[in-house]
Structure 1
Amino acid sequence: MKAKDIMTPNVITVSKSDSVEKAIKLLLEHNITGLPVVDEANHVIGIITEGDLMYRGGEIKPPRYLAIFDSYIFIDNPSKFEKQLKKMTGMFVEDVMTTPVIVIEAEQSVPDAANLMTKHKVNRLPVIEEGKLVGIISRRDIIKSYASMA
């Protein structure tokens, strides 16, 4: 069985210039947990998920550092703090989306999809054909495919 056999076609998407509020409304309206971000040619350039939006209401701790004379040594990664802050305050999808995106080719197998999800700790995979979005696979789709094989 291939990715194209279990994918959901007609994927709901957003563009990088869409507002975060629009993305949130789409997630809630369609009872989904993630949206591929596509460009004008329908290439996947990012993904915005519930996880990306969790920072909006949260508290972010600045990176810890040691001050030694006139220098600072960061214990925590300051770029991680910067990314979290951007996600917390971003107004547009491009500010909040995750990149790069793990995708799967339509002709790849379902076990390949499961392995990609496990390896990269993602809950969904955009499915592409000739570089363009044609569907999406969730963990539930993979479980359903296993059930149909039993």
Structure 2
Amino acid sequence: MRIAKEIMAKKVVSVKADLPVEKLAGILWSHRINGAPVVDDDGQLIGVVTESDLVDQNKKFHIPTAISILDSVIFLDRAKTVEKEISKMTGATVGDICSREPVTIREDTPLDEIATIMSEKKVHTLPVLKNGTLVGVVGKADIIRTLARG
């Protein structure tokens, strides 16, 4: 069974949190990637930003559903969810729209576990860490390429 170290991209295209969102699309497109790790000035992983985060900026806003009972208004959507959605839609920098709790894997994570994580957590860009340091990225294209090569 192959492991992350064997299939990961070692030349990691990462971005900083202060990068304007308008520039992110160009970076993802020019490198033909669907996401990138977000790093601080010391190169430490602080999040992941993906094409989906960019797409979310252009979607219609869902007005929270509410019901009125005895002069009280009860919102059926959670306030934090609505706040997060508004924040992503109005974000100006990568730091505003990225996921701040990225799902990561180790170099020795087997392919079947990587696929399971991607499927269950609905993520397609997995930073690979070695002793807490970013050493690579596994994207869904890396898995498809590995499967195609047998």
TM-score by length of 2: 0.90
Distance 1:147 1:99, change over 3 A: same
- 8 Å CA contact 2:68–2:74 kept in 1: the answer is yes
After superposition, residues 76-87 of structure 1 pair within 5 angstroms as 76-87=77-88
**1:11 Cα offset (Å):** 0.9
After superposition, residues 1-150 of structure 1 pair within 5 angstroms as 1-149=2-150
Unmatched 5+ residue regions in structure 2? none
Q: Secondary structure at the match of 2:123?
A: coil
Q: Distance in 1 between matches of 2:17 and 2:10?
A: 21
TM-score by length of 1: 0.90
Q: Distance in 2 between matches of 1:27 and 1:108?
A: 25
Unmatched 5+ residue regions in structure 1? none
Runs of 4+ in 1 over 4 A off after TM superposition: none
- 8 Å CA contact 1:41–1:132 kept in 2: the answer is no
**1:75 Cα offset (Å):** 1.2
Q: Secondary structure at the match of 1:57?
A: coil
- Per-residue CA deviations over 1:93-146 (Å, capped at 9, x if unaligned) read 111001311111012222221121122111121111111111111122123223
Q: Distance in 1 between matches of 2:44 and 2:116?
A: 23
Q: Distance in 1 between matches of 2:40 and 2:20?
A: 15
- Per-residue CA deviations over 1:71-94 (Å, capped at 9, x if unaligned) read 221112222221111111111111
Q: Distance in 1 between matches of 2:90 and 2:100?
A: 17
Fraction of identical pairs, as percent: 36
Q: Distance in 2 between matches of 1:112 and 1:55?
A: 28
CA RMSD, 1 decimal: 1.6
Q: Secondary structure at the match of 1:98?
A: coil
Residues paired across the two proteins, number: 149
- 8 Å CA contact 2:128–2:134 kept in 1: the answer is yes
Distance 1:29 1:140, change over 3 A: closer
